[in-house]
Amino acid sequence: MTSVRILLALFAAASLAGAALAQPAPKPAAKGAAAAPFRTITWDALVPPGWDPMKDFKPQELAALSDADPRAQEMMKRVREIWDAAPTNPALGGQAVRIPGFVVPLEENKDSLKEFLLVPYFGACIHTPPPPANQIIHVLMKTPAKGVRSMDPVWISGTVSALRTDTAMGTSGYRIEALAVEPYLDKPR
């Protein structure tokens, strides 16, 4: 996939990120781990009101550019700069929340994970450039999570803070000190 097409896909993904997992909350897989004190939020709650990740870009102009075009390369650089500095929602600081997402490991332990990124859609940070920082959560587990692998869909429960972290996989705008990680399960059909 060319970088221009990747950038166009990013524009589409940024507008759909909140909707991808913003379904009504299914019942947790395990009882008691994510009980009442955690407020279920969607990815849209992480974005401050009025912030538009696309306001500085016109995706329709990108379609005509090739990867070798310096304008496409400059656009990709500007996207990274703006998205890595994406503002967070100050209203969330210190809240006990529960949010679904996909796991992007930051460590090489196959048995358990203590640190990872949580992202709103499958493949974010791995197959494409990362989403805006306000759509990436750096998760630190109180107790290592067993049986969790790359891109597993999960629920995370813990206390959120606006804390920017740069990793090899992307820049996160939030950190959650997680007490629970649970498999994301759809409602029975």
Domains, the chain: 3-183 (2.40.50.870)
pLDDT score at 3: 54
Contact (Cβ atoms closer than 8 angstroms) between residue 112 and residue 146: yes
Whole-angstrom Cα distance, residue 112 to residue 32?
21
Q: pLDDT (tens digit, 9 = 90+) per residue, 1-46?
A: 455 555 545 554 554 444 444 333 334 444 444 445 899 999 999 9
Query: How many CA atoms lie less than 13 Å away from 156 in the CB half-sphere?
Result: 37
Mean pLDDT along residues 90-105: 96
Whole-angstrom Cα distance, residue 35 to residue 4?
44
Whole-angstrom Cα distance, residue 132 to residue 27?
29
Identify which of 99, 120, 90 has the alpha carbon closest to the alpha carbon of residue 39. 99
pLDDT score at 7: 53
Q: Which residue has the higher pLDDT, 15 or 111?
A: 111
pLDDT score at 110: 78
Separation of first and last alpha carbons in the chain: 36
Mean pLDDT over the full length of the chain: 82
Whole-angstrom Cα distance, residue 59 to residue 22?
25
Whole-angstrom Cα distance, residue 110 to residue 166?
23
Mean pLDDT along residues 129-154: 94
Q: With pLDDT > 90 as the criterion, what percentage of the chain qualifies?
A: 56
Q: Which residue has the higher pLDDT, 10 or 183?
A: 183
pLDDT band, very low/low/confident/very high, at 73 (cuts 50, 70, 90): confident
Contact (Cβ atoms closer than 8 angstroms) between residue 141 and residue 178: yes
Question: Among the residues of the chain, which ranges form H helices?
Answer: 3-20, 59-62, 70-84
pTM equals: 0.81
Sign of the Cα torsion 33, 178, 53, 88 reads positive
